[in-house]
Structure 1
Amino acid sequence: MNNLIKPLETGKLKLKNRLIMPPMATAKAEKDGSVSKAILDYYDEKTKGGYISLVIIEHSYISMQGKASENQLSVAQDSLIEGLNKLSNLIHENGSKTIMQINHAGSLARTEITGKAVVAPSVVVNPREGDVIPEELTVEQIKGIVEEFRNAALRVKAAGFDGVEIHSAHGYLLNQFFSPLTNKRNDQYGGDVHNRIRIHLEVIKAVREAVGEDFPILLRLGACDYKEGGSTIEDSLIAAVEFEKAGIDILDITGGLFGFIKPGDKSQGYFRELTEAIKKVISIPVILTGGIKEPEAAKSLLAEGKADLIGVARAILKDSTWAREAIENLS
């Protein structure tokens, strides 16, 4: 049997199959971050026929200070909700569910793009793109960022999406708090893993209070830095348990500070050791991504219990018919 076509139900989210399109930055938004015709056309092409059960929209900035790049999608203002609603409606009409990923870039932001100071948990150059010395966030500023995540999640819900994903991976702000390489704080937000995920738990709480109990909240976790002194799978096992307790509905697992790669491993589903370990300590569904190009590989990873949902990114980016062929032809 093709277990890719097996439905999944979390209680809050019903998915008709196990195939996810994970977030991939397109740089197709308008200059002000609003939804463009190019964005609508892109997601229309990728979701035609509804073969992908869930589309997670590319990372979208929650504030100008948190903007990562030019032509990045924004959820920073209420005026953007109308355009975002066109995007959610289009994907729904094509037959897929859709969730928006919300993000603050932290030390991966650039003043020449944002017009704002670059901020981070600590005065540490980001190892992913290291040339800017950020300012250390005060506790008061951290509270403000938590509120910005809350407001962004409210806009996502108002725009008709099926849920929201909090981004804590690939070297962005929440991931910077999670990693000991970039979090050198001596207060309640630094030190052991429980302190390093304090901001995550505050964001989850604020978002949950804003969107209500029935609205799905996902979290994308950069579960390992694969570098000495960085975050480890042991950290992520502790974090995963706390995130489930805090109300996360699905955990989306990927790489940490250094992005969506695993050094020295190009096998299909190269984060499977992380997802397999995390699945053993939580009961909520886990998404596995990472170099999956062939439907057979997706099927095998599901059959082996490595994850509950499979994210296929680059293969779908390259070939918009990939999902249809995977669902229809794999037996």
Structure 2
Amino acid sequence: MSVGTGYGFCVVGELNPGALTVALAGCLGVQAADVEVAGEEYDPRTRHWDAAVSCGCAAAAGDVSWVLDVYATERVVAPPGSRDLARGLAAALGRVVVYEAQPYQSGACWVAVPDGRTVRGRLYDPGDVAGREGFVMDAVESPLPAFPGARTDFVYEALSFGQGRDFGQALRAIASALRSRCPEGRLELRGSLAGDAYDRYSDIDLLWTVPGERFAAAVAGAGEALAGALPLLTARSDPEFHDAADRRLLTYFFRDLPLFRRLDLDVRAATPAVGPVPTGGGWPLAVSALANAVGAVKAVRRGRDAETVRGLVERGGARVGVTERASGRWADDIARLVDAAERADPGAGELAGRVRELVTGQLG
């Protein structure tokens, strides 16, 4: 027997049944006549049960306005995933659409906004929050006008899923340290952690936007703030931005986190920066080469093509005097790169030792 696909959504704001019908038809690739939207007042005896798409629509209280129960029958060819359908509905309706994170994690959800973005949030069901009626959006990872009462914070429990509890705790410590250094600043996830395609090899990519008058102090104090939360192994600043008045890219490896979990901190001034801005640290060539070694291990484990891995190894080697071509025996090539980096800068020996352990553990 053929089985259809079910979806659950919440929508914020006014919702016209006719507009919803058209939006569902467009997003699911059927005619509007093949979509039935049934409100709470519909009589089950008059429902169009043979519709290709049916949608139950119930009014809600609190931070969302409507709850939708959508069912696409097997007549819908290649039904989209929840994310794609939510984004399509948000754009078509001009409304914020909330859908449940998968797998479910303590109220974690995704919020699709009409401009195409998706943002993680934490939505509590009616009755779950004392003193509040209806649904409550407790937190969102980026400020959204649709939820003015929600805190801006990362949904750590969702980010920790499949990554281990320690990762969520580490990310919380990093965010807390930076927010304490500049309470007026705004932190946002970037890269794979901002979506749902991250894995255990993903970096921590953060955008830290601070007022212009706090930019110099934020750049100068970021390392100290982070070191107070998690012991630092290395810190470096990308020289590409050293002449920029309003941006620095800072990179940190931590002693107590896997090397894959380095932090790339993009610091930007929200308004023109005030005062001289430090570089934020040096750019040790040996450390840069070792970062390439870690990237090469990650690329191998992710199954990237040989040219991608080769490029990482050879660019890293060029920084520390390795001139020979990579052989394609990746464990040997990366080990040679690590040795050359340590010879070039004995001060990078601790990081080099960690990278050797990584190569043995992942590629040995």
Structure-2-length-normalised TM-score: 0.25
Considering fraction of residues, name the structure with more strand: 2
| Larger-Rg structure | 2
Structure-1-length-normalised TM-score: 0.27
